[in-house]
Every structure is written in structure tokens, then in C-alpha cells.
Amino acid sequence: MTTDEAVGEGSRARRLGGHLVLGVLSLLCAFPVYWLYATSLRAPEDVYSLSVLPWPLSTASYAEAFATSDVLGMLLNTGVVAVLSALGQLLIALLAAYAFAAWRFPFRRLLYLLFVGTWLVPFQATMLPNYVLLSRLGLLETLAGVIIPTLCSALGVLLLREHLNGFPKELLDAARMDGRSSWSTLWTVVVPALRPALAALGILLAITAWNEYFWPAMVLQRSNAVVQLGLRSFLGTEGNDWGPLMAMAGLACLPVFVLYLVLQRHIVNAFVRSGLK
């Protein structure tokens, strides 16, 4: 507060300068996103127009995208992957974080380091054996093959543990005095108190899974089961059909943007927290 006051007492010119720089920068950042949707909403004959407003509006590009590929199926598949992956990671991370926060036990530090250590293992160093393992399990080209290897989120464990460390021990003790098992304490005491943190983390994990490209590209190879891969197959071919391509890209981003509009503050906080750990 005090810095705000101290800085805020500056002249109008300073504040105006701030608005100017930030305004230009925000426009530069947002322009490609705007252009994507603007192009997708132009009539086919206007696709090359440089007018800022796409007028007259047309959904022809969307119709074309739907006609040429199974967009709904892809969106559905991607949704399934994102939701299952996020829920699975959330549950497994919650259990692990609970263990670290509520007990002291032999090898606790070592086990914790096992999670922290994953930060240092680049994807390249594990992808070949993982690919081979998936093919042995017969999970290549399946959505399960995309989901299962992502289910343990070290980030989730570390973040939830951080939250649980701030959790009043008295509540856990009180639950125990009531004769509750650790399992029922987890679900009746801990989870309700952690709900905001769990929601934020869940959204973060779902968005990440939705936008994931590298791993699905490996597992699903050249099939187009998820929307990121479907989009790729539209790209690169000579003479792009920009309208339908932008419609498809717009659809691929739409669920995330809708979430962002509704839950902006939570999403931003979740991303920042994840970065700071």
C-alpha cells in the first residue's frame, strides 16, 4: 500500500506514460489472438481483408472446418484427456501431499526429493523407453496412452504440500480425537479446507493437458485424435485455407479462453504460484 501511495503521487505524465507503454504492449500481445478470431469470422471472400472488424460476420469457415474433419470428436477426445488427466493428477498428488504433511516417517526426505528431482529430468531423457513401454502395453495410439504417463504431477504434490503446511494441525488432531480414520479426515476435514487450492491446481493441470502437444504427438503418431494434432494436420500443406484453419485454431483455444474469462483471477494465480515453486 505504501509503495502504491508513494509511486501514485507522481505526476499525471508518468501515469500517462505507463498507460501508453502498457496499452501498446497489451495490443501487441492480444492482436494475434484477435486476428485469429477475426479471420475465422470473415466471409470466405473477405479472408484476405485487412479491415480491423470482420464485417459482415460469417460462420462459413466454421462450417467448412466441421465438414472437412471430425472437429467435435477431436474436441471431445481432448476434453476427456484434459479432464481425466487433471482429475487423476489431482487425486494422486493430494494423497501424496497428505502423506508428507501429516506424518513423519523413515525416508520421508528421500521420497520428497524424488518428486523435486523430476524437474531435472528432461523429457528427452525418458521419451524413448516410455514409448517402448507404451507399445509393449499396447497403449500406443490410444487416449489411455496419452493420459497414464502424465498422472503423477510433481508440481501438484509440491504445491499441495505447500498449502497443507499452512493447514492448522489442531484440526487434524481434533478429527483424530473424534476417532476418525485418516482417510475420512482427508475427505471431511482436509479437502473442504483445500478446495480453492485444489480448484486452481485442477484448472491449471487441465489447461496444460488440453494444450499438450509433444507427448500426444508421440503416442498418437500421425492420427488426429486430439485437437492439437488435428490442427497440425491442417498446417504446413501448401496453400493453407486460412479461414477454416483459423476456425479450427479458434475452436482449439475456445474452451480455455471461456475458462479464463470466467475464472481469470484464479487461473492467473495458479500459473504464478506454479512458477514460483
- 272 binding other proteins? (CB under 8 A): yes
C-alpha grid cell for residue 117? 528431482
3-state SS, residue 221: coil
- Give the residue, chosen from 180, 193, 199, 202, that forms a contact with other proteins under the rule CB under 8 A: 180
22 vs 63, which CB is nearer to other proteins?
22
Site for other proteins in 29-88 (CB under 8 A): 29-30, 32-33, 35-36, 39, 48, 50
Instruction: Report the alpha-carbon distance of residue 66 to residue 78 in Å, rounded.
Output: 16
Site for other proteins in 118-157 (CB under 8 A): 118-133, 135-136, 148-149, 151-152, 154, 157
Listed ranges 61-69, 79-87, 117-125, 138-146: which one lies at the site for other proteins (CB under 8 A):
117-125
Beta bridge partners of 57: 42
62 vs 210, which CB is nearer to other proteins?
210
Whether the Cβ atoms of residue 197 and residue 190 lie closer than 8 Å to each other? no
Listed ranges 61-69, 79-87, 139-147, 254-262: which one lies at the site for other proteins (CB under 8 A):
254-262
- Give the residue, chosen from 51, 166, 170, 222, that forms a contact with other proteins under the rule CB under 8 A: 170
- 245 binding other proteins? (CB under 8 A): yes
- 113 binding other proteins? (CB under 8 A): no
Instruction: Report the alpha-carbon distance of residue 225 to residue 74 in Å, rounded.
Output: 5
Listed ranges 6-14, 68-76, 79-87, 139-147: which one lies at the site for other proteins (CB under 8 A):
6-14
| Torsion angle of C-alpha atoms 212, 213, 217, 223, degrees rounded to 10 | 80
- 96 binding other proteins? (CB under 8 A): yes
3-state SS, residue 189: helix
- Give the residue, chosen from 111, 113, 116, 191, that forms a contact with other proteins under the rule CB under 8 A: 111
- 266 binding other proteins? (CB under 8 A): no
- Give the number of other CB atoms < 10 A from CB of residue 116: 12
- Give the residue, chosen from 181, 187, 195, 262, that forms a contact with other proteins under the rule CB under 8 A: 181
3-state SS, residue 262: helix
Give the shortest CB-267-to-other proteins separation in angstroms. Answer: 8
- Give the residue, chosen from 179, 222, 237, 238, that forms a contact with other proteins under the rule CB under 8 A: 179
- Give the residue, chosen from 76, 80, 102, 193, that forms a contact with other proteins under the rule CB under 8 A: 102
Site for other proteins in 183-242 (CB under 8 A): 183, 185, 207, 210-211, 213-214, 217-218, 227-229, 231-232, 234-236, 240, 242
